Amino acid sequence: EPKSSNKSASLTSQQVVDITRQHNYGTWRFQKGWNPMHIADAEGCTIVDGAGKRYLDFSSQLMCSNLGHKNQAVIDAIARQAQELSYAMPGYATTARAELSQLLLEVLPKGISKFFFTTSGTEANEAAFKIARMYTGKTKIIARYRSYHGSTAGSIAATGDPRRWAMEPGGKGPGVLFAPEVHCYKCPIKHTYPGCGIACADYIEHMIRNESDVAAVLVEPIVGTNGVIVPPEEYMPKLRRICDEYGVLLIADEVMTGWGRTGEWFAMNHWGVVPDILVTAKGITSAYVPLGLCATSEKIADFFQDHYFAHGHTYEAHPLTLAPAVATIREMQRLGLVERARERAPYVEGKLKELKAKHPSIGDVRGKGLFWAVDLVKDRTTKEPFNTYSDKVSGKPLLVDQIAAKILADGVTIQAWVSHFVVAPPLIVTKEQIDL
């Protein structure tokens, strides 16, 4: 029975798995069939199981380990901060907070300059909704189908996928409305790009006109979990114009798309659009520690000069979460990882298109930077997905899971979601690893 390779391990690998399985919820699966892999070690783009077998991580865990594992600068920043100051109430100024704020001004879209730090993307979205409602004095938020914004009451209410349904009735809202997703491969309103004139954005304008009280439009600039869906070039600028015309805030949820993942620091940069509120998490610390950020424009910040900002958490701006973010951003700058994601994109795209040419079950490959989806269909003409969400929750074996298991046996891990894979390796990935 191998011990895990961690020097500090006190349990055998089998004990680690058994205790975890017995006393933890195995989300997204029947508890009785849950047999989690023991991750004992990780370095760079590689994770190591309890038996010492190595795997290339081709989805950066949950699309978050962008720098890869065991980055010494980030590890040192955590250790240093723990020794200097491990906690301070959010009402205080700290060096880590000031340093991170300065760096954020360098990398965020220009004009986004006031920050609220949380410990997850979910909480950062909750803060964004509250800020949007306080600032506008309005309540409704227009989100889109095929979106994911988090799992707490407010963020799941704004999530346009079936995970929300478990919270209903009552969980939808108050005041969340859903617009059709922008998805040119399978347009929900049956248009064809570019002849459509971006009718999905017009639809949102129609909603704003026919609803009173709309505070904000909430978008993932590139839809993540639900299929790495890249909008057409004109969509985001058009949405910006519509929001400006009606005095509605534009919230960009860049939890997954931020931090170089798409070949820009933030995905909104692809279209030169600055949102009013930018929400992010994951890659901000490359997932070394949990940190979320809700960042707003100066005009929103000004409003709170003389309006009470009734919000906050015990772990808000926790120094141990902020110091590694400073180190992560500096490492990204030093290694040129945003540029690297952009440069590697055509290579990944080429490889995925080779796969598509070989396998009729692949209906579409799409993405940007180092953020791609491989979409499985029953039939390329009808584009019917190979599996559905109902298959997943009924426990039917999914093709994506079967393929992922085969790939895992060959030494690569990849995120599989209902009927697509998310290909999102750490930004330090090499060409040889992409070939593998």
- Would you say 146 and 138 are in contact if contact means Cβ atoms under 8 Å apart? no
- Would you say 323 and 292 are in contact if contact means Cβ atoms under 8 Å apart? no
Q: Looking at 14-22, 114-122, 173-181, 329-337, which segment touches ligand PLP (CB under 6 A)?
A: 114-122
Q: Which residue is nearest to ligand PLP (CB)?
A: 121
Q: In the set 122, 285, 321, 328, which binds ligand PLP (CB under 6 A)?
A: 122
Q: Looking at 15-23, 116-124, 298-306, 375-383, which segment touches ligand PLP (CB under 6 A)?
A: 116-124
- Angle (deg, nearest 10), helices 95-107 and 319-335: 40
Minimum Å gap between C-beta 270 and ligand PLP is 16
Nearest residue to 278 (alpha-carbon basis) of 150, 143, 118, 112: 112
Hey, which residues between 265 and 284 contact ligand PLP (CB under 6 A)?
Answer: 281
Q: Looking at 34-42, 100-108, 219-227, 328-336, which segment touches ligand PLP (CB under 6 A)?
A: 219-227
Minimum Å gap between C-beta 291 and ligand PLP is 9
For 213, list phi and psi in degrees, rounded to 5: 70, 30
Q: Looking at 191-199, 253-261, 265-273, 365-373, which segment touches ligand PLP (CB under 6 A)?
A: 253-261
CA end-to-end span of the chain: 29
Contact between 255 and ligand PLP per CB under 6 A? yes
Tell how strand 362-368 and strand 412-413 pair up: unpaired
Hey, which residues between 131 and 150 contact ligand PLP (CB under 6 A)?
Answer: 148-150
Distance from C-alpha of 210 to C-alpha of 38, rounded to nearest angstrom: 52
Minimum Å gap between C-beta 125 and ligand PLP is 6
**Residue 222-251 contact track with ligand PLP, rule CB under 6 A, x = bound:** --xx--------------------------
Count residues contacting ligand PLP (CB under 6 A)? 15
The H-assigned helical ranges of 336-398 are 337-358, 389-394
Nearest residue to 304 (alpha-carbon basis) of 132, 96, 94, 123: 132
Contact between 66 and ligand PLP per CB under 6 A? no
Q: Residue 125's Cα: distance from chain center in Å?
A: 12
Cβ closest to ligand PLP, residue 57 vs residue 253: 253
What counts of helices (H) and strands (E) characterise the chain? 14, 16
Minimum Å gap between C-beta 332 and ligand PLP is 19
Minimum Å gap between C-beta 168 and ligand PLP is 19
- 373 forms bridges with which residues in the sheet? 366, 422
Q: In the set 181, 220, 331, 375, which binds ligand PLP (CB under 6 A)?
A: 220
Structure tokens given for 381: 């003409």
Cβ closest to ligand PLP, residue 4 vs residue 288: 288
Identify the helix (H) or strand (E) that includes residue 409.
helix 399-409
95-115 b/e (C-beta count within 10 Å ≥ 16 → b): ebbebbbebbeebbbeebbbb
Minimum Å gap between C-beta 124 and ligand PLP is 8
Structure tokens given for 376: 């499985």
Maximum alpha-carbon separation in the chain: 66
For 87, list phi and psi in degrees, rounded to 5: -160, 145
Contact between 176 and ligand PLP per CB under 6 A? no
Beta-carbon-side half-sphere exposure of residue 271 (alpha carbons within 13 Å): 21
Q: Residue 293's Cα: distance from chain center in Å?
A: 12
Minimum Å gap between C-beta 295 and ligand PLP is 14
Minimum Å gap between C-beta 161 and ligand PLP is 11
Cβ closest to ligand PLP, residue 224 vs residue 425: 224
For 250, list phi and psi in degrees, rounded to 5: -105, 120
Q: Looking at 81-89, 208-216, 252-260, 385-393, which segment touches ligand PLP (CB under 6 A)?
A: 252-260
Distance from C-alpha of 66 to C-alpha of 85, rounded to nearest angstrom: 26
Contact between 261 and ligand PLP per CB under 6 A? no
Q: In the set 57, 253, 264, 364, which binds ligand PLP (CB under 6 A)?
A: 253
Minimum Å gap between C-beta 121 and ligand PLP is 2
Distance from C-alpha of 109 to C-alpha of 272, rounded to nearest angstrom: 9
Contact between 126 and ligand PLP per CB under 6 A? no
Contact between 285 and ligand PLP per CB under 6 A? no
Cβ closest to ligand PLP, residue 271 vs residue 371: 371
Q: Looking at 19-27, 118-126, 228-236, 306-314, which segment touches ligand PLP (CB under 6 A)?
A: 118-126
Q: What DSSP string runs through 325-336?
A: HHHHHHHHHHHT
Minimum Å gap between C-beta 266 and ligand PLP is 12
Q: Which residues bind ligand PLP (CB under 6 A)?
A: 120-122, 125, 148-150, 220, 224-225, 253, 255-256, 281, 292
